Amino acid sequence: MGFADQRFNVNLSILFTELPLLERPAAAAAAGFTAVELWWPWIDTPTPERSELDALRRAVEDAGVRLTGLNFYAGELPGPDRGALSLPGEESERFRANIDVAADFAQSLGCTALNALYGNRVDGVDPAEQDALALENLVRAARAADRIGAVLLIEALNAPESPRYPLVSAPAAVAVVDRVNEATGLGNARFLMDLYHLSMNGEDLPAVIDRYAARTGHVQIADNPGRGAPGTGSLPLEDLLDRLAKAGYEGWVGLEYKPGDRPSAEAFDWLPADRRAAR
């Protein structure tokens, strides 16, 4: 069980970032992977030029990898914004402008998971107002995801690194999943279980897995402390993934960790080459 029984993809927004964006899919393929995921690559715009979208699509296709996950526009990542959909004013409008752009791009590459980061609390704005705006925008995103046959992912981040982000526990994120599904009736909102973020919040990871594996649409991993590759910290990631598999999780596991002081291509020594290609 454990690492041998998972389907791994590489997050090209945190790994291979020493390379230009359009070179990263081929680099992941050269490292033996057949699937990748991305944060929204254009942090300064939710609506890039068609030529930019087409160039990235060709880079993914030419590399022979599959895009399995994509974030909606979320502002500057990594950075202070941590999402746009619950921010009143311009940022919320930018998120809305991005919904169909991101969904159509995902569909063009057969991607079936779209992640919507909730957004920080804003000084002087009633949290209830932000939550109402978030639900409205998540409903729009869920409908766009449904249109392309995808799931909408809701993620918990961690309080030490994102103190103004309101979803900093598994129950908080799953509660939003439930509200979205109730509002749409589509049932396509799912929990994104990021084991690094949850561990930073001090959650009981085996209990989270047992309780929420069936509600989970995607898993991401990094070791803790340090957000490095498995084996660089103290998280028993192989045991945790084994537990997920036994709980019935059969989806992708995204490698969303920092490569450390080395090229990204050298940051996969914990995973034998014959286990990197999805089976």
Q: Which two tokens stand for residue 160?
A: 């030490």
Q: Which residues are catalytic?
A: 155, 256
Strands 35-38 and 113-115: unpaired
- What was the pLDDT predicted at 81? 61
Kindly tell me if the per-residue pLDDT of 276 is higher than 80.
yes
In a domain, residue 276? The reply is no
pTM: 0.96
For the domain that residue 61 is a member of, what is the CATH number?
A: 3.20.20.150
- What was the pLDDT predicted at 1? 40
Domain count, the chain: 1
Kindly tell me if the per-residue pLDDT of 279 is higher than 70.
no
pLDDT tens, position by position, 57-75: 999 999 999 999 999 999 8
CA pair distance 239, 205, nearest whole angstrom: 11
Residue-range definition of the domain harbouring residue 79: 2-271
- What was the pLDDT predicted at 181? 98
**At which residue do the structure tokens 């084994």 appear?**
242
CA pair distance 140, 180, nearest whole angstrom: 10
In a domain, residue 114? The reply is yes
**At which residue do the structure tokens 């989270």 appear?**
208
Q: Which two tokens stand for residue 88?
A: 């009143």
Percentage above 90 pLDDT, the chain: 92
In a domain, residue 46? The reply is yes
Strands 216-221 and 7-11: unpaired
In a domain, residue 18? The reply is yes
H/E element, 113? strand 113-115
CA pair distance 40, 117, nearest whole angstrom: 11
Burial 170-204 (b: 16+ CB within 10 A, else e): beebbebbebbbeebeeebbbbbbbbbbbbbbebe
Q: Which two tokens stand for residue 179?
A: 């509200």
In a domain, residue 173? The reply is yes
In a domain, residue 279? The reply is no
Kindly tell me if the per-residue pLDDT of 192 is higher than 80.
yes
The burial of 79, by beta-carbon neighbours within 10 Å (0-12 exposed, 13-18 middle, 19 or more buried), is given as exposed
**Top-confidence residue, 262 or 79:** 262
- What was the pLDDT predicted at 132? 98
Terminal Cα-to-Cα distance of the chain (whole angstroms): 14
Determine contact, residues 270/231, Cβ cutoff 8 Å: yes
In a domain, residue 148? The reply is yes
**What value does the mean pLDDT take over residues 201-218?**
98
- Residue 223 neighbours by CB distance under 10 Å: 22
- What was the pLDDT predicted at 72? 98
Kindly tell me if the per-residue pLDDT of 190 is higher than 60.
yes
In a domain, residue 277? The reply is no
- Residue 273 neighbours by CB distance under 10 Å: 11
The burial of 261, by beta-carbon neighbours within 10 Å (0-12 exposed, 13-18 middle, 19 or more buried), is given as exposed
pLDDT tens, position by position, 2-46: 576 789 999 999 999 999 999 999 999 999 999 999 999 999 999
pLDDT tens, position by position, 119-161: 999 999 999 999 999 999 999 999 999 999 999 999 999 999 9
